[in-house]
Every structure is written in C-alpha cells, then in structure tokens.
Amino acid sequence: MALYTLREVLEKAEKGKYSVGMFNVLNVEMLRGIIGAAEELRSPVIIALAEVHLPFVDFEDISHLMIKAAKDADVPVVVHFDHGQSFENIVKAIHYGFTSVMIDASMESFDENVRRTKEIVKIAKVLGVSVEAELGHVGGSEGSSETTFAPEDYYTKVEDAKKFVDSTNIDALAVAIGTVHGEYKFTPKLDFKRLEEIKKSVNIPLVLHGGSGLSDDDFKKAIKYGISKINIFTDMSLAAVNSIEELLECKCNKINCEGCFGLNKPDKEKLIEIIVKKVVQEIKEMDKKERKVTYPDIIQASMEGIKEEVKKKMRVFGSVNKA
C-alpha cells in the first residue's frame, strides 16, 4: 500500500471520530512490532522518528528502513519526523522520503513560532509533505522519568489557536492541555474544556503529545473533544522492558544501572541496551549447556511486548479496522 500523508490519514480520522496512533521508532524491532500490530488489527498507523532520538540511530539508515516498511505494509502508513527543531534535519527528513514533518518552535515567541513554521510549510507543501506544528508547549522528554515540568504554565491559548493556524497553513496542530512527555510523576489532569474550545476555533486535526501514562478514559475524552492523532513512546519502551524482565525472570531494580552510559539515572529508551549488556555478561559465565536465554530471544521478547502495547492503544483509539 502506498505511503500516506498525515493530512490524508487524519482527515479520515476526523470524519470517523477516532484517533490514529503515532509510535516512535528507534530500531528494527520497534518498527516490526508497530507495523505488525497495524496489519493484524487493520489500522492506519503513523511511524515516527523524533529528532531527540537521532543520537541513538543513523538518520539516513533508519529513514530508509522506515520508508521501505511503510511501502511494504498492507495498511496506510505515515512516516513522520517528530519534534523537528533543526531546519536542516527537517529538510533532510523530507529529502529521505518522510510524508510528514513536525516543526516544533513552541518554546519560541508566538511570532517566531509562526515565522519558523511558515518557513517549513513553504518547502513541504511544494513537495506534498504534511506539516504539524505545536502551540503552547508539552514539556518533559521522550522516554524520560524526569517530569517536574508544570504543564499548566504552557497551555495552548484558545485565542491564539485560530490565528496561528490561519497564519501558517499547517495540516495539524499539537496542543498543550495538561500532558507531558515521559513518565508522569503526578496524576495528569487534562483541560478538556480548553481542548473543546480550541477545536471549535480551528478547522484542522488536533494532536495530543505525551500520551503515554494516560487512562483509557482520558484518551476517549480527548478523541471526543477533537484529538485525531496521539503520540506514544514511553509506554512502548516500558512494555519492551517488561517483556524482557518476564523472559529473564528478573526485576530491573536488581540490576545496578548507576553510572551506565555516564548517567546517574538512565533514560528508559536506553534501559533495554543496559539490560542486554548485563544479561550477555552473565550468559558468558554460564556453561553453554545451561544457557536458556539467547540474544534473539531478547529481541523477540521486546518486539512482541511493543506489538501488544501498540495493539492495546489502537483498540482504545478506535482505529481498528479503519485501514
């Protein structure tokens, strides 16, 4: 099935009153798990590479893998560049074949956000690529457990939403209504009234970042009040780690990760790599006849954990059988 743009997939989602999940990709296992879930449930899907994750992958190599997987899939797939802040990287994503890009200038002034967003729109629209932008700011970081950010400080202002959309000609708007990236250290309280008012003021699909950790009820209400795209990363990462824990019949808190990769507290997206290194070290000390877990077993476990988590989210988002 051909690659789809974000506009194509989200316009259908808006009409059908469901949401399409966007799932970040860091490696082949994540890519296979996400696409596999979408094909099994006949759901459209958005696979994404976030600019913050570029230190962990080769940009060009992972892009080619994502594009090929999308083309080979038998469901609609959008290939999206998430939270692009660098003009150069956003243009590279377009060059590599991404069908959607996000320009995130949300921490800039309103006028600067508009200026930088219009710059990307002017390039992307000529090439048929969709553009997402953010107004207000969703704090935290992808896969991080450090979320001391106070979301109410950066809520999207209703009165600014229409002006921003009209000024930029974007295809989708990411709004800040109380979510954060990464794991929540508090119970999230979403401002659904604000979301409802924003939706009434604009005529494009709305996007919810920081979806991991929300309740099913939160998701369903967000979709009811106008959200057509929901971003997920941390929940997938945790699902992969949990699957590996079960395979190894161990608890991660028994593994001393202090100092790993020069970090005091490792990011969740690195935790899989840390665990694998620890396990491989232990396996080397075992007699070959006693080995019960292999590296391919770990790969398979992480992929299956991701697939099941993605399927769970797709069912909640209402995108099953919408391909």
**Residue 210 known to bind ligand:** yes
Instruction: Put residue 174 in one of left, alpha, beta given phi > 0 → left and psi -120 to 50 → alpha.
Output: beta
- State the Cα–Cα distance between residues 237 and 302, nearest whole angstrom: 9
**Residue 209 known to bind ligand:** yes
- State the Cα–Cα distance between residues 210 and 222, nearest whole angstrom: 12
User: 162 near 202, Cβ under 8 Å?
Assistant: yes
| Tokens linked to 279 | 């396990």
**Residue 233 known to bind ligand:** yes
**Residue 137 known to bind ligand:** no
- Pick the catalytic residue: 58, 82, 153, 218? 82
**Residue 231 known to bind ligand:** yes
**Residue 64 known to bind ligand:** no
User: 106 near 134, Cβ under 8 Å?
Assistant: yes
100-109 burial string, b = 16+ CB within 10 Å, else e? Answer: bbbbbbbeee
**Residue 80 known to bind ligand:** no
**Residue 171 known to bind ligand:** no
Alpha-carbon distances of 50 from 85, 217, 262, 263, 307, rounded to whole Å = 10, 27, 22, 21, 19
CA dihedral 258, 261, 266, 267 (to 10 degrees): 180
- State the Cα–Cα distance between residues 23 and 77, nearest whole angstrom: 11
**Residue 261 known to bind ligand:** no
**Residue 182 known to bind ligand:** yes
Name the one residue in this structure whose structure tokens are 């709305």: 206
**Residue 104 known to bind ligand:** yes
CA geometry: angle 155, 142, 164, nearest 5 deg: 35
Residue 82: active-site member: yes
Binding residues for Zn(2+): 83, 104, 134, 181, 209
Binding residues for dihydroxyacetone phosphate: 182, 210-212, 231-234
Please give the positions annotated as active site.
Answer: 82
Binding residues: 83, 104, 134, 181-182, 209-212, 231-234
